[in-house]
Structure 1
């Protein structure tokens, strides 16, 4: 079946399959850690701190990983990410008495490095597999890769719970390590050599982007993802459990379904933003969609402090936030791949996802601190302010009127 496809399609399917396999284990591992340590009596904020290094090393990895991808090739950085995830999983196979907080944080740090090497490589690869004139095709492929990743991350939450129930903590981790090791071996054999390797090897000093458009988009991305995580990561699940009385399985199940739905909307984003009419997004599109999203946290916060049903206001607002946020995220993912230079594409993409990881880190830390000090409504007001900043920054992004030129690989 694969033999009848064009080389570009085959490589796209390999990159996507590689990314899917990694994402399933990433989501499952997060749920395994959360459920296992919750069972040991850890509080939500203590569990959140287990993932602190995961986010910190995401910032560092994206910055350095883009440089590595340009020098070594994206096939090598993608396979390195898979190998590191296998090692991170293997670290959790030690006797249960050794699973101390520092040890788990170290394993999560390694997993964070692996995840961002894999993601940066996958997103950068697509730029090289689509002709530069086929911007509509590029948008579609990026949206499918991004959306399917998030849908599979949600499925990974369910997988982690199912594996934990069926095989126990160590059995679940061992099964994932073996499966991912097989994917890694297949990827080494099949992925195109020197994919994304820059013709002129960049210096380490070139890891910071010199492109105004990429710097602006990176700043907008930082505030966009900070706006999500400032209330979604810690504040929301703690509120659902402590204030609404939801049981842990219900909290985890709902958030998993939210992530799956979010991923599906991301995949559909090209159709929601005008691709069928021959248009691809530009800076104006980024502003309009961010401005619409900015209103949702405000409405939820007002609903929490009104006579409206709190649960209905929160869940309804969360679903609407998920739809609009998914479109914003997918649109940004297309713009960075479109703006990036073809020679050494991973440098630009890595810098951008460094800003993404920084936004997640800031949001995660603020989520726990602000919720503890002032509650969920305060987190939502900060979220709205962050989105407003992302929208204002987007006003300075380039605008264009190019039409979609669908190539023969669409």
Structure 2
């Protein structure tokens, strides 16, 4: 095994461990506070700082990774998650509802910082590891590595949903958090002892102006990413679980479906290269694929809304499950292509900063979708969420249409353009 392949395997395993606990945390919080009688909108509110913190964490994390090395930032991300778990375990049942929500939002914000620091460092490490593999005359495999990393991560997140429920049942809220903190401590030890300390260290931007001055392709892809992930979360975070519960599903059934959906979504992401015809320059086929999948995806929420409103005698919950399954397949391929394109477009000298900027856009999309999911469902039910999703996907398609498709246009891509 080459050094590049070895580092890729270590980073992937570390991120698996992180994502397992991150998925468990989401289910742990949802189940625990749902059992205490908190409303769906309050549950969504608990995750807003978690998502908002990721915007700054990605931007700063990319800059720090370039300045101090990817391994150090991966270490910081894992350590921060452990701190968040321990703070959350300090929640007291004697506190008022307002104090409890404020404490959870604060702890979740810390975990949000941890998640995106870890994600930015891990995704940047793939670019570095793949470049090292090429230098060692190994086969170039960036798209396959990105797809497998992203897909397997989401599958682990789905398994984490199961883990969260299991730990809550077996150990209780506080015990589950302690167990997850101990698990991450072992992962942290493995990273510190296995990865090169200075991996990915490069010349970082000297000013905020330079940090935000990305090439046109990165900027367009970031806009598309905001719209794409906002379109998912605008109905997935609150609308889907609340709607299914309202149609007679138990909470266990809802949680199981969401876990299975996430696992399936991850498996499709991992297999995405099989659905995309590869090009020799790395962009000529991949960019048109992103456009086609974005356009097809945009029709799905509108179609689901039309079927639900048609009164055709179809069971609403089955229409939603079928539609969400189709949406998940197309979304997974689209997301995987985006994850490849950001590394293909990223400047070689500052790939961590470009990836951080891109995932800051990802976090902004999740934040926007999470907020709108509660607001739109309260205003107009699932129909409003679906229409909002379709509009966002239309914006994603428009941004994707403007993406450049020839790699030679980026011979000077380390130069930034305002």
How far apart are the structure 2 equivalents of 1:394 and 1:278? 18
Q: In the alignment, does 2:122 pair up with 1:118? A: no
- The 5 Å alignment of 1:79-228 reads 79-94=75-90, 96-97=92-93, 100-131=100-131, 137-199=141-203, 202-228=206-232
Q: In the alignment, does 2:295 pair up with 1:291? A: yes
Q: In the alignment, does 2:347 pair up with 1:351? A: no
* SS of 1:240 mapped into structure 2: helix
Is contact 1:70–1:202 with CA below 8 Å preserved after alignment?
no
Displacement of 1:95: 5.6
* SS of 2:217 mapped into structure 1: helix
How far apart are the structure 2 equivalents of 1:278 and 1:67? 28
Q: TM-score, length-normalised on structure 1? A: 0.93
Moved more, 169-178 or 279-288: 279-288
* SS of 2:271 mapped into structure 1: helix
Identify the residue that residue 345 of structure 2 maps to in structure 1: 339
Identify the residue that residue 230 of structure 1 maps to in structure 2: 234
Identify the residue that residue 63 of structure 1 maps to in structure 2: 59
Moved more, 210-219 or 373-382: 373-382
Displacement of 1:171: 1.2
* SS of 1:195 mapped into structure 2: coil
The match for 2:263 among 243, 260, 263 is 260
Displacement of 1:329: 0.3
Is contact 2:71–2:196 with CA below 8 Å preserved after alignment?
yes
Identify the residue that residue 367 of structure 2 maps to in structure 1: 361
- The 5 Å alignment of 1:22-33 reads 22-33=18-29
Unaligned runs of 5+ in 1: 403-410
Displacement of 1:363: 0.8
Q: TM-score, length-normalised on structure 2? A: 0.91
CA RMSD, 1 decimal: 1.9
Displacement of 1:206: 2.3
The alignment of Structure 1 onto Structure 2 pairs a total of residues equal to 397
How far apart are the structure 2 equivalents of 1:371 and 1:136? 45
Identify the residue that residue 248 of structure 2 maps to in structure 1: 245
Displacement of 1:94: 1.9
Moved more, 79-88 or 266-275: 266-275
* SS of 2:141 mapped into structure 1: helix
Deviation string 1:350-378 (CA, Å, 9 cap, x unpaired) is 11111111111111111111111111112
Deviation string 1:135-156 (CA, Å, 9 cap, x unpaired) is 9610000000000010000000
Is contact 1:135–1:338 with CA below 8 Å preserved after alignment?
no
How far apart are the structure 2 equivalents of 1:337 and 1:95? 40
